[in-house]
Amino acid sequence: GAGVSQSPRYKVAKRGQDVALRCDPISGHVSLFWYQQALGQGPEFLTYFQNEAQLDKSGLPSDRFFAERPEGSVSTLKIQRTQQEDSAVYLCASSYQGRDTQYFGPGTRLTVL
Amino acid sequence: GNSVTQMEGPVTLSEEAFLTINCTYTATGYPSLFWYVQYPGEGLQLLLKATKADDKGSNKGFEATYRKETTSFHLEKGSVQVSDSAVYFCALSDSNFGNEKLTFGTGTRLTIIP
Protein backbone atom coordinates (compact mmCIF):
# COMPACT_ATOMS: atom_id res chain seq x y z
CA GLY A 1 0.00 0.00 0.00
CA ALA A 2 0.97 3.63 -0.29
CA GLY A 3 3.26 5.01 2.36
CA VAL A 4 3.75 8.56 3.52
CA SER A 5 4.60 10.85 0.66
CA GLN A 6 6.16 14.30 0.75
CA SER A 7 6.60 16.96 -1.87
CA PRO A 8 8.69 18.47 -3.15
CA ARG A 9 11.60 16.14 -2.44
CA TYR A 10 14.07 18.99 -2.90
CA LYS A 11 13.55 22.70 -2.53
CA VAL A 12 16.04 25.50 -3.02
CA ALA A 13 14.97 28.90 -1.74
CA LYS A 14 16.62 32.26 -1.59
CA ARG A 15 16.89 33.80 1.84
CA GLY A 16 13.70 35.67 2.61
CA GLN A 17 11.42 33.56 0.43
CA ASP A 18 8.41 31.68 1.77
CA VAL A 19 8.19 27.92 1.23
CA ALA A 20 5.44 25.33 1.65
CA LEU A 21 6.15 21.65 2.22
CA ARG A 22 3.43 19.05 1.76
CA CYS A 23 2.83 15.76 3.52
CA ASP A 24 0.35 13.07 2.47
CA PRO A 25 0.00 10.61 5.36
CA ILE A 26 -1.10 7.02 5.12
CA SER A 27 -4.85 6.92 4.58
CA GLY A 28 -6.75 6.61 7.85
CA HIS A 29 -3.86 7.66 10.06
CA VAL A 30 -5.07 9.97 12.78
CA SER A 31 -1.74 11.25 14.05
CA LEU A 32 0.73 13.28 12.03
CA PHE A 33 4.14 14.55 13.10
CA TRP A 34 6.68 16.93 11.56
CA TYR A 35 10.38 16.66 12.36
CA GLN A 36 13.43 18.66 11.29
CA GLN A 37 16.71 16.85 10.63
CA ALA A 38 19.84 18.94 10.33
CA LEU A 39 22.85 17.48 8.55
CA GLY A 40 24.52 14.79 10.64
CA GLN A 41 21.90 15.00 13.40
CA GLY A 42 18.88 13.04 14.47
CA PRO A 43 15.39 14.30 13.67
CA GLU A 44 13.93 16.84 16.08
CA PHE A 45 10.23 17.18 16.78
CA LEU A 46 8.44 20.22 15.40
CA THR A 47 4.69 19.71 15.75
CA TYR A 48 1.92 17.12 16.17
CA PHE A 49 -1.63 16.83 14.84
CA GLN A 50 -4.43 14.58 15.90
CA ASN A 51 -6.85 14.74 12.98
CA GLU A 52 -7.13 18.45 12.19
CA ALA A 53 -6.21 19.62 15.69
CA GLN A 54 -2.67 20.81 16.28
CA LEU A 55 -2.10 19.55 19.81
CA ASP A 56 1.57 20.32 20.21
CA LYS A 57 3.65 22.93 18.43
CA SER A 58 6.33 23.23 21.07
CA GLY A 59 9.12 22.28 18.68
CA LEU A 60 8.53 24.98 16.10
CA PRO A 61 11.72 27.07 16.26
CA SER A 62 10.15 30.46 15.57
CA ASP A 63 6.94 32.17 14.58
CA ARG A 64 8.11 31.94 10.98
CA PHE A 65 7.12 28.28 11.05
CA PHE A 66 3.48 27.39 10.64
CA ALA A 67 1.76 24.04 10.08
CA GLU A 68 -1.80 23.11 9.25
CA ARG A 69 -3.92 20.04 8.54
CA PRO A 70 -7.32 21.54 7.78
CA GLU A 71 -9.20 18.37 6.83
CA GLY A 72 -7.34 15.93 9.00
CA SER A 73 -5.37 14.32 6.19
CA VAL A 74 -2.85 16.30 4.11
CA SER A 75 -0.62 18.63 6.07
CA THR A 76 1.45 21.61 5.01
CA LEU A 77 4.46 23.05 6.81
CA LYS A 78 5.06 26.65 5.84
CA ILE A 79 8.21 28.60 6.54
CA GLN A 80 8.08 32.33 6.06
CA ARG A 81 11.09 34.54 5.31
CA THR A 82 13.46 31.57 5.15
CA GLN A 83 16.88 31.87 6.75
CA GLN A 84 20.03 29.86 6.11
CA GLU A 85 19.64 28.06 9.43
CA ASP A 86 16.34 26.63 8.13
CA SER A 87 18.31 24.42 5.73
CA ALA A 88 17.53 20.84 6.75
CA VAL A 89 15.53 17.77 5.81
CA TYR A 90 11.91 18.07 6.92
CA LEU A 91 10.34 14.72 7.76
CA CYS A 92 6.69 13.89 8.10
CA ALA A 93 5.44 10.81 9.93
CA SER A 94 1.99 9.39 10.51
CA SER A 95 0.52 6.75 12.78
CA TYR A 96 -2.91 5.20 13.15
CA GLN A 97 -3.12 6.50 16.68
CA GLY A 98 -0.60 8.42 18.73
CA ARG A 99 0.78 5.34 20.42
CA ASP A 100 1.31 3.29 17.27
CA THR A 101 4.37 2.95 15.08
CA GLN A 102 5.22 6.11 13.20
CA TYR A 103 5.80 5.69 9.47
CA PHE A 104 8.10 8.24 7.92
CA GLY A 105 8.05 9.85 4.53
CA PRO A 106 11.20 10.32 2.44
CA GLY A 107 11.58 13.93 3.56
CA THR A 108 11.96 17.27 1.82
CA ARG A 109 15.50 18.61 1.66
CA LEU A 110 15.35 22.39 1.96
CA THR A 111 18.39 24.45 1.04
CA VAL A 112 18.30 28.18 1.72
CA LEU A 113 20.87 30.20 -0.16
CA GLY B 1 13.58 16.86 29.55
CA ASN B 2 13.97 13.68 27.55
CA SER B 3 17.22 12.88 25.79
CA VAL B 4 18.96 10.02 23.99
CA THR B 5 22.71 9.50 23.82
CA GLN B 6 24.09 7.01 21.38
CA MET B 7 27.49 5.81 20.37
CA GLU B 8 29.23 8.12 18.00
CA GLY B 9 30.23 6.84 14.63
CA PRO B 10 31.20 6.10 12.11
CA VAL B 11 31.54 2.42 12.85
CA THR B 12 33.25 0.16 10.33
CA LEU B 13 33.14 -3.62 10.68
CA SER B 14 33.99 -6.61 8.57
CA GLU B 15 31.22 -8.88 7.35
CA GLU B 16 30.15 -11.48 9.96
CA ALA B 17 31.50 -9.40 12.85
CA PHE B 18 29.51 -8.84 16.04
CA LEU B 19 27.81 -5.46 16.32
CA THR B 20 26.95 -3.38 19.37
CA ILE B 21 25.70 0.19 19.16
CA ASN B 22 25.24 1.71 22.60
CA CYS B 23 22.24 3.83 23.51
CA THR B 24 21.30 5.38 26.86
CA TYR B 25 18.37 7.60 27.65
CA THR B 26 16.96 10.09 30.10
CA ALA B 27 13.20 10.33 30.49
CA THR B 28 10.77 11.61 33.09
CA GLY B 29 8.15 8.89 32.66
CA TYR B 30 8.03 5.35 31.33
CA PRO B 31 9.13 5.67 27.73
CA SER B 32 8.91 3.29 24.84
CA LEU B 33 12.25 2.74 23.12
CA PHE B 34 12.99 2.34 19.43
CA TRP B 35 15.71 1.72 16.92
CA TYR B 36 15.16 3.28 13.51
CA VAL B 37 17.34 2.64 10.46
CA GLN B 38 17.99 4.82 7.44
CA TYR B 39 19.41 2.95 4.44
CA PRO B 40 21.21 4.99 1.77
CA GLY B 41 18.70 6.98 -0.27
CA GLU B 42 15.72 5.80 1.78
CA GLY B 43 13.54 7.15 4.56
CA LEU B 44 13.57 6.23 8.22
CA GLN B 45 12.22 2.76 8.98
CA LEU B 46 11.37 1.23 12.31
CA LEU B 47 13.80 -1.61 13.04
CA LEU B 48 12.56 -2.71 16.46
CA LYS B 49 10.95 -1.44 19.61
CA ALA B 50 10.29 -2.25 23.26
CA THR B 51 7.55 -0.72 25.33
CA LYS B 52 8.41 -1.70 28.90
CA ALA B 53 11.32 -2.70 31.10
CA ASP B 54 12.99 -6.06 30.29
CA ASP B 55 11.20 -6.30 26.94
CA LYS B 56 13.41 -7.44 24.06
CA GLY B 57 12.77 -6.10 20.59
CA SER B 58 14.07 -8.08 17.63
CA ASN B 59 13.97 -7.91 13.85
CA LYS B 60 16.22 -9.01 10.95
CA GLY B 61 18.71 -10.55 13.39
CA PHE B 62 19.00 -7.35 15.44
CA GLU B 63 18.08 -7.31 19.14
CA ALA B 64 17.83 -4.73 21.90
CA THR B 65 16.71 -5.14 25.51
CA TYR B 66 15.03 -2.36 27.51
CA ARG B 67 17.14 -2.03 30.67
CA LYS B 68 15.49 0.34 33.13
CA GLU B 69 18.19 -0.07 35.79
CA THR B 70 20.90 1.16 33.43
CA THR B 71 18.57 3.31 31.25
CA SER B 72 19.95 1.60 28.18
CA PHE B 73 18.74 0.05 24.94
CA HIS B 74 21.85 -1.22 23.17
CA LEU B 75 21.49 -2.60 19.64
CA GLU B 76 23.22 -5.92 18.88
CA LYS B 77 23.60 -8.29 15.96
CA GLY B 78 25.62 -11.45 15.98
CA SER B 79 26.83 -11.45 12.38
CA VAL B 80 26.53 -8.34 10.25
CA GLN B 81 26.16 -8.26 6.48
CA VAL B 82 27.11 -5.68 3.89
CA SER B 83 23.40 -4.92 3.49
CA ASP B 84 23.29 -3.71 7.11
CA SER B 85 25.29 -0.62 6.15
CA ALA B 86 23.07 2.29 7.15
CA VAL B 87 22.56 5.00 9.76
CA TYR B 88 20.97 3.75 12.99
CA PHE B 89 18.98 6.01 15.32
CA CYS B 90 17.97 5.25 18.87
CA ALA B 91 14.78 7.01 19.96
CA LEU B 92 12.25 7.21 22.77
CA SER B 93 8.67 8.32 23.10
CA ASP B 94 7.21 9.48 26.35
CA SER B 95 3.50 9.89 26.07
CA ASN B 96 2.26 13.35 26.85
CA PHE B 97 -1.50 13.54 26.49
CA GLY B 98 -1.26 10.85 23.83
CA ASN B 99 1.40 12.70 21.84
CA GLU B 100 3.97 10.03 21.16
CA LYS B 101 6.53 12.39 19.71
CA LEU B 102 9.93 10.80 19.27
CA THR B 103 13.19 12.05 20.74
CA PHE B 104 16.13 10.80 18.67
CA GLY B 105 19.83 10.34 19.23
CA THR B 106 22.29 11.78 16.75
CA GLY B 107 22.62 8.56 14.76
CA THR B 108 25.44 6.08 14.19
CA ARG B 109 26.67 5.45 10.67
CA LEU B 110 27.58 1.78 10.18
CA THR B 111 29.64 0.54 7.26
CA ILE B 112 30.20 -3.17 6.70
CA ILE B 113 33.07 -4.15 4.46
CA PRO B 114 33.18 -7.53 2.68
* DSSP β-bridge partners for residue B90: B35
**DSSP for A32-101, written as a single string:** EEEEEE-TTS--EEEEEEETTEEEE-TT--STTEEEE-TTSS-EEEEESS--GGG-EEEEEEEESSTTSP
B108 to chain A, any CB pair closer than 8 A? The answer is: no
**Residue A100 in this model has a pLDDT that exceeds 80:** no
Q: How far apart are CA A67 and CA A51, in angstroms?
A: 13
pLDDT tens sequence across A64-97: 999 999 999 999 999 999 999 999 999 999 998 7
Looking at residue A98, what is its pLDDT? 65
pLDDT tens sequence across B46-65: 999 998 899 999 999 999 99
pLDDT classification of B30: cutoffs 50, 70, 90? confident
Chain A closest CA to B54's CA: distance in Å?
19
Contact between chains at B98 and A104 (C-beta distance less than 8 A): no
Q: How far apart are CA B49 and CA B31, in angstroms?
A: 11
pLDDT tens sequence across B58-90: 999 999 999 999 999 999 999 999 999 999 999
Residue B19 vs residues A15, A98, B16, B83: alpha-carbon distances, Å: 43, 32, 9, 14
Identity of the amino acid at A27 = S
Name the residue facing A98 among B42, B99, B103 (closest C-beta): B99
Return the percentage of chain B with pLDDT > 70, whole number.
96
Assign residue A89 a region: left if phi > 0, alpha if psi is -120 to 50, beta otherwise? beta
Binding-face residues of B in 24-63 toward A, CB within 8 A: 36, 42-46, 49
Is residue A15 a contact partner of residue A73, using CB atoms and an 8 Å limit?
no
Contact between chains at A101 and B46 (C-beta distance less than 8 A): yes
Looking at residue B34, what is its pLDDT? 95
Label the pairing between strands A65-68 and A75-79. Answer: antiparallel
Contact between chains at B107 and A42 (C-beta distance less than 8 A): yes
Chain B closest CA to A82's CA: distance in Å?
24
Q: How far apart are CA B109 and CA B39, in angstroms?
A: 10
Q: Establish how many alpha carbons lie within 13 A of residue A5's alpha carbon, considering only the half-sphere containing its beta carbon.
A: 7
pLDDT tens sequence across A41-55: 999 999 999 999 999
Looking at residue B82, what is its pLDDT? 97
**Residue A1 in this model has a pLDDT that exceeds 60:** no
Contact between chains at A42 and B89 (C-beta distance less than 8 A): yes
Looking at residue A101, what is its pLDDT? 86
Contact between chains at B95 and A98 (C-beta distance less than 8 A): yes
pLDDT tens sequence across A33-42: 999 999 989 9
Q: Which residue has the higher pLDDT, B42 or B66?
A: B66
Best CA proximity match to A10, nearest among A80, A103, A100, A108:
A108
Is residue B81 a contact partner of residue B17, using CB atoms and an 8 Å limit?
no
**Residue B97 in this model has a pLDDT that exceeds 60:** no
Looking at residue A50, what is its pLDDT? 93
Is residue B92 a contact partner of residue B33, using CB atoms and an 8 Å limit?
yes
Looking at residue B99, what is its pLDDT? 64
Q: Determine the 3-state secondary structure of A23 from DSSP.
A: strand
Residue B65 DSSP code: E
Q: Which of B2, B100, B106, B108 to mutate to test the interface with A (most CBs of A within 10 A)?
A: B100
Looking at residue B98, what is its pLDDT? 60
Assign residue A16 a region: left if phi > 0, alpha if psi is -120 to 50, beta otherwise? left
